[in-house]
A = this chain, B = another copy of it.
């Protein structure tokens, strides 16, 4: 690959990072190309050498944004632990990523969700978002199935629906945290969340599937 292409990629990345910063601050619609260019330290016109229009910046920003949340789950998934343990570790791992590293951009989630179902080229983004969620669910689904197989997860849960629910929980808890950080304590939530997901809130002498 020639140095030229590498540089081009590097510059696109610079622009996207600048865009994300501006988007995060002002929202998608209220961010201007001028501001993005300034943040990227380049000329306004230069942006158009790398992106067709503002929409393309938005889409590419979203792709990049998603990468923030890609994490190496290999260690967890390939470990010898039981499914329930992997589930626990997965949740912890995800929450720690959301909580710390990239939480600068986390609230862009809202903007992208909104843009995904509206916006001019919603199709592209929606597809991408759904792809993201589908593989995200698959991740949990696999762990749940493992757990069912190894006896650490109850048999009577539906792995697909439950993975969707667990992910929903993580998203939803983030929403409240983003909106009201003074009241929501993610650390405490994490502990309770794992407890709830594994043990439930209800009281029953013996778990049903074990009861027969």
Contacts and interface: CB of A to CB of B under 8 A. Distances in A.
Interface string A113-149: 1111111000000100110011000000000100100
A180 B30 contact: no
Main secondary structure of the interface of A (DSSP, over half): helix
Interface in A170-212: 170-176, 178-180, 183-185, 188-189, 191-193, 195-210
Interface of A: 25-30, 84, 87, 107, 110-111, 113-119, 126, 129-130, 133-134, 144, 147, 151-154, 156-158, 161-162, 164-165, 167-176, 178-180, 183-185, 188-189, 191-193, 195-210
Tallying the copies of this chain within the complex gives: 4
Contact of A176 (B126, B152, B164): B164
A195 to B, nearest CB: 7
A174 B113 CA distance: 12
